[in-house]
């Protein structure tokens, strides 16, 4: 397993990132530690979270994931071995949201405190704030870089137009430049990324770290019928995937999984890893068996026939 350079940064990561959205939601602190230990002991080094994780769970207020990761980093004393990223811009409640400079300067302090670190390897715009000029947001990041609190910046959930405007402002004014893009992309959700973002990422050398890499669990093959929807908290919206295209994707995953003696999840991730524009998929796990699929994915070298089969089954083009 070889490390990959993340965009134009000096960060080098193994080709799967762990998504911390499950911490404090479907995983308690003890189980979170077990999964993080398993992930890093297998050699992986990139952990992704956000200030808002997991505010959506009952009684949560946001920051739960960062706190758990922070406690784990303190216990393991391994901060220097981890590429750590979090995000800003989501609605944290009580008017705490957006990308204005003063808000970002406060939000990063809160994240650093919860994570128990004095710097972030990567700080990402989570959701755009179109009422705030891109220059103001980038100026906040410039201040944080100057203060040594963040090293690099990235973006997610921002329109192609606003990303380009940000890149132009960075070049024109000597401001920090977005070096990574975190899009929603996987075998099922292909069209938006491939038509609007992929060429932008390639042309500008952006490292791409995909979220919902297993489409909330659909691409694991765990959900086969509507009777399976109660298997996890994520199952409620899964019935929308049981269309002709979704079933074709599952059939192709089954065929390739049997051929490579791997799980559908590992094959789905391997397909992403082998996409020329993708640096690493972000994926979560809530059990050791799920973690094993993540660990196996970089070792699967899908051949051209396997890639063609998956491409054809998942095509969005008529």
Please identify which of the residues 14, 53, 123, 185 carries the catalytic annotation. Answer: 53
User: Is 119 a residue of the active site?
Assistant: no
Rounded to whole angstroms, the Cα distance separating 100 from 131 reads 9
* Phi, psi angle pair for 110, to nearest 5°: -65, -45
Catalytic residues: 53
């Amino acid at each position: 397993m070889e490390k990959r350079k993340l965009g134009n940064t000096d960060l080098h990561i193994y080709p799967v990132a762990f998504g911390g959205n499950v911490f404090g939601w479907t995983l308690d602190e003890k189980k979170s530690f077990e999964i993080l230990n398993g992930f890093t002991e297998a050699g992986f080094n990139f952990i992704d979270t956000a200030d808002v994780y997991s505010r959506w769970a009952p009684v949560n207020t946001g920051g739960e994931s960062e706190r758990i990761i922070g406690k784990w980093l303190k216990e393991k004393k391994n901060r220097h071995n981890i590429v750590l990223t979090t995000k800003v811009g989501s609605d944290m409640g009580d008017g705490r949201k957006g990308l204005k400079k003063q808000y970002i300067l406060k939000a990063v302090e809160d994240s650093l405190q919860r994570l128990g670190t004095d710097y972030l390897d990567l700080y990402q715009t989570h959701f755009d704030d179109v009422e705030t000029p891109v220059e103001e947001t980038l100026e906040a990041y410039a201040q944080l870089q100057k203060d040594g609190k963040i090293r690099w910046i990235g973006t997610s959930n921002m329109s192609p137009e606003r990303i380009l405007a940000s890149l132009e402002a960075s070049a024109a004014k000597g401001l920090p430049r977005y070096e990574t893009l975190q899009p929603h992309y996987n075998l099922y959700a292909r069209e938006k990324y491939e038509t609007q973002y992929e060429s932008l990422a390639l042309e500008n050398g952006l490292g791409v770290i995909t979220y919902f890499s297993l489409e909330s669990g659909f691409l694991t093959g765990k959900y086969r019928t509507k009777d399976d929807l109660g298997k996890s908290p994520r199952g409620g919206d899964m019935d929308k995937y049981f269309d002709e295209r979704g079933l074709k994707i599952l059939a192709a995953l089954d065929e390739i999984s049997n051929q490579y003696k791997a799980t559908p999840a590992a094959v789905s991730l391997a397909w992403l890893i082998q996409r020329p524009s993708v640096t690493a998929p972000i994926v979560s796990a809530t059990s050791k068996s799920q973690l094993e699929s993540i660990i196996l994915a970089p070792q699967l070298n899908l051949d051209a026939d396997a890639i063609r089969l998956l491409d054809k089954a998942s095509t969005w083009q008529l």
